[in-house]
Each structure stands twice: as structure tokens, then as C-alpha cells.
Structure 1
């Protein structure tokens, strides 16, 4: 399997339409805790503005996954985020357009973001919760060295309920 060409860069307001197209797919949105379905028109622009504010405040690292090797000419096809808790932890989130599933792209994109996280001494550990039925996401985390630490019920606000999740942890060893 050949990995498709892609690049990473910070998300931009101009990415709103492409992001909205990705997250409007129910197969992409429904396994997530935060992406509503149906996705509200204009919601991506608001979400990107929120990411920019949290990033400027040092509370989130957001990376856009761009189709193609040139981040200036390609289109957004996914995102990876690390939401910092201020206590050495970060919650990992990621989403990828369905057309790019099954090619190893998300594993490689998250791997690159994890390398970036190692350069942030305020991040000692990264956690991720994955809906039990989301075996693809669990496989990404396992391939990247995350340890499954258990199961729990977690709030999925976009679903309006709690769901059973598998919990994963990666210790970076950074001092806090």
C-alpha cells in the first residue's frame, strides 16, 4: 500500500468549506464526541475560529491535513488536534474524510503530530477516548504505541448521551 501524498499545516479560515464537507458525512461525524450530525451550515468557520483562539491561548494545537505535498495548493481533508489540559495532559482528536480511509494516512498524520508534541515540554501524556465500535481509530492508536488503559462511559455531547469508550494513553516522558 502506497501512502497518498499529503502535507500538514495550521488550519485557516479559508478551510471552512472543505472542513464542513468532511464533517458533514455521517460516517465521519457519528463516531465522534463533538461533531454534530447533521452538521450546521457555517459551523466549520466558527469551529476554526475557536481553534485559533484556543491555539493563541496555548490551550490547543490544531493541524490541518492537506491533500497533496504542497500545503499551499492542496485542500483540507482532515484535522488532528491536541487539547491541552494545563496539567501535563493533552486530549487527542482526529478526523479524516472518508475518501482517504484505509490508506494509512491518518496513522502517519497523527505520528507527525506526536513528534510535534514531543517538542512541547508542557505535554507529558496524550489521552484518547474511542467509541468501542470505532475499531479503525483504535487501530490507529495501537499502531502508534498508545496503551489501552480501560473502558468507561464518556459524554458524547454531539450525540446527547454517554457512550462506552476504550481509553488510550501515550506517555511522552516530557517534564511538566
Structure 2
């Protein structure tokens, strides 16, 4: 069973360990965060929490039943009912449906808890697993992009009633 938790101050040490453990794995498909990210992680973490408090981003950790971090799913640049989705799953959890399930839950949260209407996402052409996650979650390809000099694709998901929880049949009685 997977759970999502909004980023909190007490996640810092475990998140840094997760990022360090998976640094090489992540650079296979996305650009490296660089040494400064790791050296100044405490400040980075505080900045992310401030962005979240301001409502311009929503950061989530994907946890297994023991509370171990398996991945991250983030909504960034929140404005006018829209946000950009980003996600990463650690090597040990890759290929097990973790990203698909986590993105599905963040889409639900985006519609219900955060009041968003649209999500965008991008991925490189050489990352078929990411394209599959987006397709399984109802994202449609909208065009080509360049991601740090690599060819990629942009996707869009319009959030709708399927993202909201089922209505309570007794509500309003």
C-alpha cells in the first residue's frame, strides 16, 4: 500500500537520503540537480516548504507501508487553476506501478483539495516509462518541447468529475 504525504520539515533527512541514493538513477532520464543542491539541501528544503506555504507549489512524498520514501510527486507553478506535474520514483520502486498510482492520487488531490482544473507535464522522448504513466492517467500529448537540450513532449490533463470523490448519496437530506 502506498500513501502520499505533503512535504513537512521533518521529512528533510529522509528526503536527502532518498535523493542521494537515487542520484545516478535519476540522471539516466532527467538532468542532475548538481552538487550545490545536495550541499545546501537544508536551505532548499526550507525554500520548498515556503513555496508550499505560499500556495505556489504542492510537494508530496510517496511512501510505502513502512514509511520509506519511494518517490515524489509535485505540483509546481500553481496559478489560475493550473499547475505543472513532476514526479520521480526511486530505482527500487521503478516498474511496480508506483508512479502511476501516485500520479493518479495527485490528480485527485489537484481537483479536490487544491481546486485545480488543468495539469501539464513534460518528459523526454527517451523516457517511455514516464510517457506511459501520463497516458494511464489521462494526459494527452499537446506538442514537442526541449528539456535541457533533449527532445521531449508536453502533455495536458483537464481535471473533471472523475477526479472528485463519489458524492455522498445522503448529502443534503
TM interval, shorter chain, is 0.7 to 0.9
Where relative contact order (Cα < 8 A, 6+ residues apart) is larger, the structure is: 1
For the residues of structure 2 that align with 1:148 and 1:87, how far apart are their CA atoms?
21
Cα separation, 1, equivalents of 2:114 and 2:15 = 30
> Which residue among 33, 52, 55 is the counterpart of 1:36?
33
> Relative to 1, partners in 2 of residues 1:110 and 1:121: Cα closer, same or farther, differing over 3 Å?
closer
List gaps (5 residues or longer) in structure 1: 157-161
Higher helix share: 2
Quickly say closer, same or farther: Cα 1:168–1:102, change in 2 above 3 A: same
- Asked whether the 8 Å contact 2:142–2:154 carries over to 1, the reply is yes
Tell whether the 8 Å contact from 2:37 to 2:44 is kept in structure 1 after alignment: no
Number of aligned residue pairs: 159
Q: For residues 39 and 18 of structure 1, what CA distance do their matches in structure 2 show?
A: 18
- The structure-2 alpha-carbon separation of the partners of 1:66 and 1:42, relative to structure 1 and needing over 3 Å to count, comes to farther
Output the TM-score relative to the length of structure 2: 0.80
Structure 2 CA distance for aligned equivalents of residues 81 and 48 of structure 1: 14
**Runs of 4+ in structure 1 over 4 Å off:** 37-40
Alpha-carbon contact 2:61-2:73 (below 8 Å) kept:
yes
Please point out which of 97, 103, 114 is paired with 1:104: 97
Structure 2 counterpart of 1:172, from 159, 163, 168: 159
Q: Does the CA contact (< 8 Å) of 1:124 and 1:172 recur in 2? A: yes
Q: RMSD of the TM alignment (CA)? A: 2.2
Moved more, 16-25 or 111-120: 16-25
Taking the aligned partners of 1:60 and 1:167, their CA distance within structure 2 comes to: 19
Do 1:6 and 1:66's aligned partners in 2 also have CA atoms closer than 8 Å? yes
The structure with more radius of gyration: 2
In the alignment, structure 2 segments of 5+ residues that lack a partner are 162-173
Is the 8 Å Cα contact of residues 60 and 74 (structure 2) preserved in structure 1?
A: yes
* In 2, Cα distance between equivalents of 1:120 and 1:20: 27
**d(CA) in 2 for partners of 1:61, 1:40:** 19
Q: 1:102 to 1:92 in 2, by over 3 A?
A: same
Q: TM-score, normalised by structure 1?
A: 0.79
